[in-house]
Structure 1
């Protein structure tokens, strides 16, 4: 039996392929909304389908129901800039996602989840003296 002769479950049930694709999008972002960081329950089209957006990985991102419903068919970047939870790092992640660079997008999203405002931890073994200008 050759590989081309095999019948795959996804060929018999196209909905299974779509379900796995949607689940993989949520797994990329650790089930968090790409806009606000809350748990994602839906898939949002960055360029809405009503404006010609396709259902492809570069145009579909995980979003919470609140963000997805509030954004509706607005331009993603114009809508996102007006939100109180706007984060330029997330905006860059969305742009990288659209450009097909998922690795950069995921790295930027990880950067938003860490708290960079904390003071650096300095061990007692290190000599650390502030330099005066």
Structure 2
């Protein structure tokens, strides 16, 4: 796997640079611990997209299953790095969405899509983050 990845990086330096620039732009979140806790609590400690509970969120590293926290996903990748543009996402949803616009990715064609989740995400982004942070 690493050999294929190295070969791809060698053949695609422009894409590697574009990805690095993208990652560095959004690397730092301006979210306090209490804001992040409030956000996760609002979504019942679950991925806002698929509903995976944080207690079930693991990754394999060197063959060992490790429990990890939900990711802080930028809903709009050109938006702020603050809580008004952030929701909890599992590693799979976060990776799958990458830098796509929210409803270009999270729509009826997405296996995890539900109107209830979409409405909850929008309510958080436009109304409830303000209520929960005061």
**TM-score (normalised: structure 2):** 0.56
Matched residue, 2:84: 58
Are 2:52 and 1:33 aligned?
Answer: no
Larger Rg: 1
Shift of 1:20: 2.9
Instruction: Tell whether the 8 Å contact from 2:36 to 2:83 is kept in structure 1 after alignment.
Output: no
Instruction: Tell whether the 8 Å contact from 1:43 to 1:63 is kept in structure 2 after alignment.
Output: yes
* Larger RCO of the pair (alpha carbons < 8 Å, separation 6+): 2
**Unpaired stretches in structure 2, ≥5 consecutive residues:** 1-28, 55-69
Instruction: Tell whether the 8 Å contact from 1:58 to 1:100 is kept in structure 2 after alignment.
Output: no
Q: Which has the higher strand share?
A: 2
Length, aligned pairs only? 86
Q: Which has the higher helix share?
A: 2
